[in-house]
A and B are shown apart, each in its own frame.
Chain A
Amino acid sequence: MRRIKVRNLTKIFGEYPDQGLKMLRKGLSGEEIHERTGMTVGLDDVSFDVDEGEILVIMGLSGSGKSTLIRCVNRLIESTAGIVEVDGEDILQFSAEKLFELRRRKFGMVFQNFALLPNRTILDNVGFGLEIRGVAEEVRVAEARKALELVGLKGWEEAYPRQLSGGMQQRVGLARALAVDPDILLMDEAFSALDPLIRRDMQDELLDLQSRMHKTILFVTHDLDEALKLGDRIVLMKSGAVVQIGTPEEILSHPASRYVQRFVEDVDKSQVLTAGSVMGKIRAVAFETDGPRTALHKMREESFYSVFVTSRDFRVKGVVWADDCDAAIKRGDKNLAYILDTDFHKVREDAPLAELIARLAGSRIPLAVVDEKEKLLGTVVKSNVLSALAETQQGDVLPEHPGHGGEESTDGAGAADGAEATDTGGKRQKG
């Protein structure tokens, strides 16, 4: 379900935004507009959706318009043109009253520098949103205590913000946002001011909270690692415009432009590429009801030396090898039961590359990538992994808009086959 819809959102900072808008529509760049008029294009025709329960990360360098964007969503900044809908309602038409109500009911916000009130205790800071809503004091205190406990700060109720470390202060910031039980959390560089270790803790904690609470989260960061870790999807921004929208994997394996690629180059690919993204597609399987002749025929068809055996609904049962099929035919076996090799690894689609490498190292058989019902989705051999790594790490050989690289590079490896021509030698001696 869609919670937030943003279309063609444009923001021009300056005295005559309409004039800037015209120039922008005539095709002038933000830089040119700034040079000629001194106005700044904060957002340039931004469109995206945020779905229920997802963490959407807005990522970009400093000055790329992330803060402006997130503030247009709750109208802390008024946009110059475009549409912002929250739960199907056009919030840009809201009166001041309705806007207060919207912010009170639907949004919780967390800020880069915490923005805690120094004159209030932690408990009163956390209860701030509820106080604004006019919630009775007992309820407010109870809710605030609950929120504090949620972020692991029980016992600090009567302390003041300056007595807390940065990480703790931001927990308070998070608790303040959570205390109003918002549907949508807006987080602007919420962890950017924290040092790396604390930051990682906070990320883990956010993911943990999210797995329990299923909020819709709009998270701004300039750090790709953070974006990849937290984001279900990432909106990449540059100079106020969206460069690419996609899952972390899509962004990594198919960067839409050099700009994205430059970000991507810093990231440790093996942490992010998954079985699903590097696997080869299935070109042949033998069914468990097949005889050895049929199985061998299917292998020959694709020049494979082995093939995965599945049930009629593609649940993986094992592997059969060409040599064993030969032997079985000679013996006169009617099915594959005697030669079925069940010593293979199954991995799920989201298994990280690191795991694939570990599994492949101890085995000559391809990995079977399966879904939750054990249905075969694809296979992974060493060459899949290597080519995926090579492709994404050598940025230079990457075309500006690559096709579906995963498929291309794994073509040679075939599918249900560990025995691609290049590594036949070792593969022959089975034992």
Chain B
Amino acid sequence: MSQEFPIIGKIPLAEWIDTGLDWLTDRFALVTRAISRFVGEGVDLAVGLLTYPPPWVVILALAALAWLLAGRRVAIGSAAGLALLWNLQLWGATMETLTLVLFATTVAVAIGLPIGILGGLSGRAHRVMTPMLDFMQTMPAFVYLIPAVPFFGLGPVSAMFATVIFSMPPAIRLTTLGIRQVPAELVEAADAFGATRSQKLFKVQLPLAVPTIMAGINQTIMLALSMVVIAAMIGAGGLGGEVWRAIQRLQSGNGFEAGIAIVILAMILDRITQKIGQRRQT
């Protein structure tokens, strides 16, 4: 297995990366820890808000929101799914996971959208970004967890950090795609009527890119959910935490219960975001 590479031996890539990360940690740990505390409190607060009222209140509220965004069928399905999770006594964990996913997605989209727009408008930016995005997306998700800890400490904020990085690429990619897909003649028409760059962006390019951008956000949410589960390994808690505990105790039943809960949550989030995209399209 471990054969020596002739003459020069192994390139100390791991050492270089460690040195680099140590350097970054030394410089920025104070800042990142502060951020961590701040975000951590935000997450706690949100989870607190979602778990303080009786679950049926929250279920009704979420179903109403789903109705508003995605119609009646999705609303009924969501209510039923959430009720099942409550019944399985996974309510707290579900709310924790939901919060993490929504926080991470919000941050990923807030960062990803402008970057994606840049890539859509500038061919050069697009060329620079593509390999970076490939890198971010193909790197195994676990790897992001390791450096997150020295920056943000064990817990949900590290999980969120890794989640943001892991889930951001589709938001960027599909925003870029959506803007580049806008037919050139429509952009030309806007030009012909004297539209400035920002008028073109906000009146033509972004509105026409919305369905594609929504598809990107949908993917981001799905990736965020999968990452939040994995991040249980560094103490993210939630449904991932339930799975993790079941693995350590070899409790298949409990593991599957938590797994099913994750699937249900995924389906709810998926249907709602998909419907938003489709609605905007018609």
Contact = CB atoms under 8 A, between A and B. Distances in A.
Interface in A111-125: 111, 113, 115, 117-119
B133 interface: no
Given A118-B208, A131-B203, A132-B199, A76 B188 contact: yes
Interface stretch (B99-107, B144-152, B162-170, B189-197): B189-197
A349 B70 CA distance: 69
Contacts of B155: none
A146 interface: no
Contacts of B153: none
B186 A103 contact: no
A133 interface: yes
Given A115-B186, A117-B186, A132-B203, A103 B191 contact: yes
B194 A100 contact: yes
Interface string A94-114: 000001111111011101010
A128 interface: yes
A133 B203 contact: no
Contacts of A99: 194
Given A76-B188, A111-B189, A132-B199, A117 B194 contact: no
A247 to B, nearest CB: 28
Interface in B202-259: 203-204, 207-208, 210
A74 interface: yes
Contacts of A131: 203
B192 A103 contact: yes
Contacts of A115: 183, 185-186, 188-189
Contact of A76 (B191, B203, B207, B280): B191
Contact of B193 (A113, A118, A119, A129): A129
Q: Which residue among B190, B192, B207, B210 has the maximum number of chain A CB atoms within 10 Å of its CB?
A: B192
A107 B207 contact: no
Contacts of B207: 117, 119
A186 interface: yes
Given A74-B192, A117-B204, A111 B199 contact: no
A99 B192 CA distance: 10
A305 to B, nearest CB: 62
Interface hub of B186, B189, B195, B210 (most chain A Cβ within 10 A) = B189
A102 B188 contact: no
Contacts of A107: 192, 194
Contacts of A101: 194
A180 interface: yes
Contact of B185 (A105, A113, A129): A113
Nearest to A104: B194
A119 B159 CA distance: 39
A93 B191 CA distance: 18
Contacts of A132: 190, 193-195, 199, 203
Nearest to A100: B194
Nearest to A96: B196
A115 B186 CA distance: 5
Nearest to A173: B189
Contacts of B280: 119
Contact of B196 (A100, A111, A180): A100
B52 to A, nearest CB: 41
17 contacts: A76-B188, A103-B192, A103-B193, A107-B194, A109-B192, A109-B193, A111-B188, A115-B186, A115-B189, A117-B204, A119-B210, A128-B190, A129-B194, A131-B203, A132-B195, A132-B203, A133-B194
